[in-house]
Structure 1
Amino acid sequence: MSQPPAPYLGSNELLDVLTRSKDATAIYSSEDLHISFVSDAMLRIWGKDRSVVGKTFEQALPEIVGQPFTRLLQMVWRTGETYTATDTPATLEIEGILTTSYFDFEYRAFRNASGETYCLLHTATDVSERVTNRRAVQEATTQLHQTQEGLHQSHSELNEVQQAARQLRAQADESEFKYRSVIDQSPAAIIIFRGPELYIDAANAPMLQLLDQPATIIGHPLLTAIPELAGQPACELLYDIYKTGKPAYGYETPVQLKRNGQVETSYFNFSYTPLIEGGQITGIVDMAVEVTEQVKARHGLEQALAAGRALANKLTESESRLQSIINTMAEGMGIINNAGDIVFVNPMAQRILGLHTDEITQRTYGDARWQNLRLDGTLLPDEEHPMAVMMAAQKPVYDMEIGVQPPDAERFYISINAAPLYDADGNLNGGVATFMDVTQRRKMLNQLTESESRFRKLVEQAPVAILVFRGEAMVFDVVNDNMLKVLGKDKSIVGRTLLEGLPEIAGQPVLDALYRVYHTGEPFTGHDIPVNLNRNGKSEECYFNVSYTPLFEGDRITGVLEVASEVTVQVLAHKAVEQAEEQLRLAIASAELGTWSINAETRQFIPSPRLKELFGYHPNEEMPYEAALDQVAADHRARVSEAVEAAITHNESYELEYPIIGYHDGKERWVRATGRLYAATSSSAAHFSGTIQDITDRKLDEQRRLDFIGIVSHELRSPLTSLNGYVQMLSLKAKKDEDLPGRDILVKAQRQIDRMRSLISGFLDVARIGEGKIQLNCTCFDMAELVKQAEEESLATVTSHRVIFHPVEHTPVKADRDKIEQVLLNFINNAVKYSPQGSDINVSCTSNGPTVKVCVSDQGMGIAPPDQPHVFGRFYRVESERMKLTKGFGIGLYICKEIIEKHHGSIGVNSVPDKGSEFWFELPL
């Protein structure tokens, strides 16, 4: 398992480490050698405190004047070349006493990209002890050399003694005694070996002490007496000398000896001198001086020096890294002293503040040359500045934002972290601050605030009900007036939790959906959701279409946006429609109506069992649309097919009566079909549906009426023609006889004959229409003239009402003038018949684009809405108490409708009961 990366030290921590380091360090920031930084170790060397920071080198150390160090530092500043020195004496005033110490030191310059020096790094190590030790070693070495020279002299004397011994063998014993006495009494450690196996012939006390051996080793071979010497270079050298006869000398030679029961390495200066007797090597004289302590001292000194150099290199490297980090920091960095003066800034600080180092270090953090501002734009007092707050509390401050207004630049904002700095004694010694430019972040926050404000305004002004919940507890954060109206609450719920503001919501499914969105982050949309609410002091079951949308801040869900639309009326209406549809189905079943549905896209035909039965099919038998159309009588089939297609394609009305022939039984039936095109919904495709009713009995009855009317009309025309002739003859006679009373009676008789003739013509028209024999005699004429003619006739015949004819512009049309006049007069006569005497009847004729519209309005009894669609039906009469007093056959409006439709026009009525009716027709121009 991999370990997480170690955290990086911040600049404050690195400066603190550098301050407390054992390595003596100082930083000078100008050619005059102003001290910008000094470590505790350097202060101890100088014998000074932190008051030297900000002073020049010679101001801080006046005793240094006249010594070469100021000149060397300034030379390094100008040349940029590092200067290193060792064992250099320096005289400093320590606790009031001038003291000379020795130092290894280095002066190193740091330059910017332009090659300009911006600081000097001064590192130093006190090596006074090392110099003293080296001098002691040198003195000990001198003594050793003097001892060795004495040994050489002793060897020379020994050779002379040996020569004398060869010459004076007679005096050998005495000489031997004297020789051994010299060895025993010598202060130097001496041992004499004899023979090739190096028997120990003699060893004085210093040598025995040096070897940590007893005198009993004398007489034994060297390796028997001291076996640990086997294989060591010093021992092997003895055997070589015995063979070669050449003396040897050793300096600081390591030898492993067993001392105090432990084998340890010691160091010796020695001389090996061969003993020659009669020209033969008979032994070796070994004189030795132990220098273990000196060697160890020198080794320790060398290790100390190496460690010092390594530490100095490490310090240099650390300082270089620290300086590199400070120079490349993405944040600005500055250091102040206790007076608030800025004594150091890094390059990023210069870039953010738009000033050079020299311009910044001449100021305090509260300098009037830059205006420090609060976030609201007002001036920031000096005591509220983050550096002042930090210095006063002597505690770090974090993420304090202020504005800065330079005199000739755009305002910017910085976020400051500041921490106090302390000297080695724990005294406050200024502070360090890091800061970053947060202008863009501040602008984004301002934009976010404005955006949130706009969002709140949008929510509050939205035409739909919207609210925003925040947090796990679902606190009402934003609720617009529409939502408050829906919930039956007021603004007091804002800031309260959902269950506090709407306690009745507890346990309802909508609450679970809301929390599910908050916890999963998945939006929810619901339709016709039932919710029980306490509104206006009573519990109501309401229905809503809702959408719940999670609100995110980063990857964290912070709330839910709810948009709701109350559909209680629609849902209840839908339920009512469903109920009505069920009732309709029952009514259809009771009325034995057939139904059908045709998919507007696929043309799939779905007939009901009753419709199949009417078309002569078995209820369970398949009946495609084409098969059903085939059962329509041949002379009506095209009309039915075209009407169906027009209803599906152009959404035209569909209401037809036509005969069909049963598929299996061959029976002819008349049916009445009504239908319409229903638009597509979310749950169903567009479809053409309707009902079909068996009207065979009604058609037979109508046919009998028509037959009767035709017969009666024909039978009445001949006597009426004769009667008309008689009345005309009598009128001529009365006129000739000037029989005024007779003439009046005959005029009335003629009027009744004309009414009878009109009635018979109507009956004949109905018969012709039923047989499809009505013909049009179309000519071009002016509608203004036709209306004028109708006005003249009405003025002559209508005296019970005021008929008002509105002006008509020249409007040429092509139509059957007589039949159009018949329709207009029928409208006027009906208005007279069904409106109270003395009331107004308005007649107008206006052109509207491609059509001309004629309207006749009255102030009569009006027509109830259920009767209005049927008033143009054949033989249809409105059934009411008032209508019982008015006679009629229900054929006049039917004839009008057929005439207008023959002209490819339209006809209709607009009526309000007890206020009057307006009958109108339109003709194409």
Structure 2
Amino acid sequence: MICQMNKPASSLSNEEILDILSLSRKATAIYTSENIVIEFANDQMISFWGKDRNVIGLELEVAVPELKGQPFIALLQQVWRTGNTYTAENQSAELRVNGKLQRFHFNFEYKAIKNEHGEVYSILHTATDVTQLNLAKQALDTGLLREQELNRKLLSANASLGKSQDKFASLVKNAPVAITFLQGPELLVELVNKKMLEIWGRREEQVINLSILDETNPLIDPEQVRLINRVYETQDPYYGFSVKINILSPFSVITRYFDLIYEPVLDVENEVIGVMIVATDVTEHSLSFQREQSLAEELTASNNELAAINEEMHASNEELNRREDQLQFIIDAAEIGIWDLDLRNLQLSGNDRFKSWLGLSEQDAISLSELYKVIHKDDYAHVSSAIKEALREHSSGKFNVEFQLNIPGELLPRYIAAKGKASFNIQQQPLKFSGTMMDITERKQDELRKNDFIGMVSHELKTPLTSLNGYSQILQSRAKKNQDEFSVNALKKIGTQVSKMTALINGFLNISRLESGKIHLEKKKFNLDELIAENIKESELLTETHQILFTPCPPVEVEADKDKISSVITNFISNAVKYSPAGKLIEIQCEVSPSEVRVGVKDHGMGIKKEDSERLFERFYRVRNGQTQLISGFGIGLYLSAEIVKSHSGKIWVESIPGEGSTFFFTLPLSST
């Protein structure tokens, strides 16, 4: 395989590098192992081999069997062993293309790609088919030979020009290349053949006796006129190869490429009498050569870019390894277990700490169903439900649950806090599910001890409070008989404070019971609208600062724990009184739908910010700002209310606008019967 390097998002992936190579106009392949396995080949290379993409992954000798007996496999193995790049030009090779064994010529390079240790892990093979170029060169050599032979004949004809003028003119006119003879210092067209007239786009009568120096009726590119004039003046011939010429036709300028001969013609006294021009059109060959050069430059640039990317990937890999080591150190120091669930076969994998908690060795694996077997029976249902919710279509994918594990060989269960996240594809199908685990056994045991202590202290406090409340009521009755108004009011305030203290102690007791699993629901049927009205009357006795407006619903019967639902309603009303200015209206509404009943308590107080609303139902959470500093409370009322509503399969939430007020809601399901 190509060297796999993890890299940050800003770098190219291996797939992206292969996509870049596949776009190269030059044939490119990548081999791995000393057996020369084809790891990658772009369409050009596969076309050269006359094969299809099924060759990917095969050894080159198997994929292209006609290479047996040819030197290429041995050369590749030599590059693999030595790490030295091998380059060849115009190398012939026999390949079977379209069912026929044919001979081709290639320029190619076998470049060893090494890792940071100098070890070869792949070979980059680039190749250019120069078969047509080779044939063109052979044709060019043949043409040059013909031109040389023709030149020899022309020079011979020039020597005997006075004796065989007609023969020379016939030779020129029938020559396979463009020829013209320019006479005298004016360089007048005296003789021209059909090939040259085609280049000029003129008829013979239009150019005979026309000077190429005449700028009003140009025949030849000005630069070439300068060269021809110099040949006439110096008697030095000029030879040009693949010369770019702008042909000046009457209607346009056309660019072509020519091999040129400008030969001075001498008389018997060695005096210049003119210049013979021979031009061979090599436009197609020149353009093809330019394209090959351009491709070679592009490939060189791509190779340089690939080398730079490789260096960058190497540096990124080193940085990634450093960060992985740092992360592993943090994970080990924090005693975190790492887990990953393979959604294809529901097999769990993880780090050593995760496996140790399950009583597994480093080599052991465990399935999700086997994990369920070691989860405490009291936690199985909510763990399974949390996993299903995280993997549910259109869910947030978040997984956060605490549970007990029955570890083989341990007498007491281990408490675990698990967090994770599922990722989904565009069709909302789960792709990956992984996360962390932490051992919270010590924390849980501390919480249980604390809850036991709170429960014990709260229970002990209730006894004197009950006595205090009884004596207060007796004294208040006597004060009323004696018409002692001051004592009546004072004892009334004492009763109010005793009720508040009792409610607070009951709250702590309920938290203790809830977290120890000892809170029980005593469900019975009752009218919810009547319960709301009763709670409103009790609240009105305790506060004279607010007016409560109740919009009742039709009589609705629910099956629930009446006392606990009553505490939820009382908590909502109490919070509305505490967190809204005196004199403000408190609105209570009750609405019935076919499946549930909804109760809402609205105040016109300070309101709640969104970030606080999301945490308002957490245990001991209180909004901290300048407005709430002087308001008493421990942050347990809404937490208890939320747990009570959830235990009834209901919902609880708040809708609020800062500065305008809040509305707290809860729902209870209605019996289908």
TM interval, short-chain normalised: 0.3 to 0.5
**Which one has the largest radius of gyration?**
1
Q: Tell me the TM-score normalized by structure 1.
A: 0.34
Q: Tell me the TM-score normalized by structure 2.
A: 0.45
Q: Which has the higher contact order (CA 8 A, sep 6+)?
A: 2
